[in-house]
Each structure stands twice: as C-alpha cells, then as structure tokens.
Amino acid sequence: MAGPSTTRSPSRERRKQPTSCCPASSEGWTKKLRTGGARSISGGPFFSESPVKLVLVAACALVDADRRVLIAQRPEGKQLAGLWEFPGGKVEPGERPEETLIRELHEELGITVKEACLAPLTFASHTYETFQLLMPLWICKRWEGQVIQKEHQALKWVRPNKLRDYAMPPADEPLIPPLVDLLGG
C-alpha cells in the first residue's frame, strides 16, 4: 500500500506562490484574503478574524462638453472636510450601487441621471484608519437639469490632468490616470 505522499499537490504549490505584478497598494488586501484575514461586508460574516468594516461608496465623474470633470468640496464638519471628491455616497442597505449614485447625484447636485448613462470606469480600494473603502467610479456625460451646489462647499469643473492641483482624499489618487487616459489631459 502506498504511504502518504510527501510531495505537495500542484494546486497547493500554486496557492503558495506570491501573486506577482500586484501593485504595492493592493498587496495588503490580497495577503489578508489569502491568509483568511479579516473582513466583514456591511456587518455580515466573510472571513471572521478581527473584522474590518468594508464601506461601499458609489462615485461619479460627471464630464462636460469640454471634457472637464466635476469635483466637489466636502462640507465642513464632515470627515475629510475641505477635500475635493467625486460626487457620490455610501450604498445604503437594499440599494444597488447605481441606485445610490442616481439618488446621491440628485440630492447633492440636483440633477437627474438615467442608469443607462452611467458607464463604469474604475474603482478605488483604500484602507482608512477605521474602515476599508471600496469605491467604484462611474463616468456620466448625460444628465437632465442644471448642476447646482446643494450639499458641498464648492463645485469645480476641472481638466483631468489638473485634478492633482486639488487636495483629494488619498483613496482618489489612483482614479486620476484612468480619467486622463479616457478624456485626455
């Protein structure tokens, strides 16, 4: 009878390989998932050791006829106040992210957006002190109504290659190159 094999199965070997070509910023997240580390989505169980809250935020780059992108300055009294962000907000229980975005764009800017006019572009995944942010970013070039400032301190239309002139939350930095690629400088 053959004894227990001392050679590892190929699939086990494969699991042990470090993921190559991972950008540094995603390595911590990948490693936690590989080692069964900690995550909880909206309070629900996922991998259960020392849960880190995962916050899902839907955000949008509205693009005007001059290929400028709308950024909005976070209100006083809120976390990261004064920084410039893409309009959007947290996905509420029972909402699809696209529904969140349509609701937030109406609440924050007074515009009406059809879901068919939202095109997914990229996403941000960033570890803040108290939560992990996961933020898909959509592009929108068509909407109804005039953009008005309802909840933010200020609004600005900015060329994508000028976005770095504005202080944005750290999560937003990786969103800039895809916007420059898509819209030009």
| Residue whose CB is less far from ligand 8GT, 32 or 73 | 73
CA–CA separation, 128 and 38 (whole Å): 15
Using alpha carbons, select from 71, 134, 146, 48 the residue that is nearest to residue 97.
134
As measured in angstroms, the least distance from the Cβ of 171 to ligand 8GT is 4
Residues 131, 169: contact at Cβ < 8 Å? no
| Residue whose CB is less far from ligand 8GT, 80 or 182 | 80
As measured in angstroms, the least distance from the Cβ of 99 to ligand 8GT is 14
| Residue whose CB is less far from ligand 8GT, 160 or 169 | 169
As measured in angstroms, the least distance from the Cβ of 73 to ligand 8GT is 11
| Residue whose CB is less far from ligand 8GT, 32 or 97 | 97
Q: Is the dihedral of CA 170, 172, 177, 178 positive or negative?
A: positive
Q: Say if residue 62 is exposed, middle or buried (CB neighbours under 10 Å; 0-12, 13-18, 19+).
A: buried
Footprint of ligand 8GT (CB under 6 A): 57, 59, 78-80, 85-86, 88-90, 133, 135, 169, 171-172
As measured in angstroms, the least distance from the Cβ of 147 to ligand 8GT is 15
CA–CA separation, 28 and 71 (whole Å): 29
